[in-house]
Structure 1
C-alpha cells in the first residue's frame, strides 16, 4: 500500500466540514460549492483507503485511551492536599517537554521513513504506555480522599 497523497485543500475542506458538522455550512465559509467540498472529502477518503468516519472514530478511540488514562492517573497519583499543585506542575512540564519536541520528532520520522502514516503508531504506543501506567496504579476506590499524610 502506498502512502496517501492528499492536498491541503482537501484537508481544509474536511476541517471546515468537521467543525461545522455540515457540508453546506463548510461550503459557505469556504465560498465554494457544496459539491466541491463533498468531492474533496471523497477524494481524501479514496487516498486514505478508509472513510473519514472510520479514521476519525479510530483516532478518537486512541485519543480517548491517552486522555482517559491521564485523567485517572493524575487524580490518583497525588495526595489530596498537593493534588492541584502536582497536577499543574506535571501538566505544564509534560506540555513543555512534548508539545515542542513531538512535532519535530514526527517530522524527522516522516522524513526518515518516507511515510506520512508515522503519527498513527506513535499515538498507539503513547496510548499503550498510558494504559500500562493506569493499570499499574493501586486501586483507591472506596478509600477516603483525606489520607494520613494529608
Structure 2
C-alpha cells in the first residue's frame, strides 16, 4: 500500500484532506510536506547519502529526506525519515529549521541537527551508501550534477543559510 499524505495549502495550513502517493491526479492548489535533515558532527562534516539504484534519481547524493505521512508534523517526519534511512536518531526538539522551499506539489522543509558521532546504518532499500563530508563537497556535487535533481533549487535557495548555521 502506498503512502498517505496530508494535504496543506501554500502556507502549510492543513486542508483536512489526504492524498495517496501513487494516485495520478494531485489536487490543484494543494501541497504535501517533504522534509530533510542535514546532520552535522562536531567536526563540521555533514551526513550525505546516496540514493538506492531502484529509486528516482538513482545513485544521486542528497541529505536524508522524504514525505511526511498523514498525521505527522514536519519535525516528526524529519526524525522518522532520518532514522529509517540512516539509523541516526535525533530529538525533534533539537532540529533547527533552515528554511522552507515551495515546490510544484510540495513544501520542502530542511532542518539541521547537531550530533556527536552516531553510528550510521543505511537502509539498503533507500540508501546505497552514506558518508560524512565537508559541506563544500555537497555544493561541489550540486554543481557537478551529482546531487538528486530537486536539491539544485533547494540548495540554491537555502544554501547560504545552511552554511551559516553549520559554521555557527
Range into which the TM-score falls when normalised by the shorter chain:
under 0.3
User: Which structure features the higher share of helix residues?
Assistant: 1
TM-score, normalization: structure 1? Answer: 0.22
User: Which structure features the higher share of strand residues?
Assistant: 2
TM-score, normalization: structure 2? Answer: 0.20
- Structure showing greater radius of gyration is 1
